[in-house]
Amino acid sequence: MTKIISPDTLIQQLSDKLSATLSQKNISNPVMVGIHTGGVWVAERLHKNLGLEEPLGTLNISFYRDDFSRIGVHPQVTPSTLPTEVDGRHIILVDDVLQTGRTIRAAMNELFDYGRPASITLVCLVERGGHELPIRADIVGQQLSLQDDEQIKLTGPVPLALEIKQVNVQ
């Protein structure tokens, strides 16, 4: 059985790693953007831990996904909100679980519709196998190797919990 580290511990580790990365890259006043839903929950905590000045942005990438015909569109799509211009800004993009890379690709497509960022730093609570696109996180809380019939899910927002579920593989 795979040992899952608690989300609170992972978020503290992410905060420390992200703070060091921003300092190393000499990035001040970045814009943090969480991907709806779990990425927003993680981003809210990271944003608070880092004491960032800019308000937190959120992305709902439902209409940017390339696989919505397979997974469906959520019936209550909420709008994306970015607190400031994206052009020339350093963006911290936050998601809960990186698996195929399709969510991240969709999020970057949407971000570029708002403008051209100076850089995007990808932060993910958990990265698991199953990449379908060449996308890797810059900062990861925990890497997991799961079976094809296993899926990891972040539940929340209070408390945050990670759980592994069995799924039907087709």
Q: What is the mean pLDDT of the chain?
A: 91
pTM for the whole structure: 0.92
Instruction: Give the C-alpha separation, 153 to 112, whole Å.
Output: 28
Dump pLDDT digits (tens) for 87-137: 999 999 999 999 999 999 999 999 999 999 999 999 999 999 889 999 999
Q: For the chain, list residues with pLDDT below 70.
A: 1-2, 65-77, 170
Report the alpha-carbon distance of residue 118 to residue 169 in Å, rounded. Answer: 40
CATH architecture for residues 7-67+77-166: 3-Layer(aba) Sandwich (3.40)
Task: Answer yes or no: are the C-beta atoms of 108 and 35 closer than 8 Å.
Answer: no
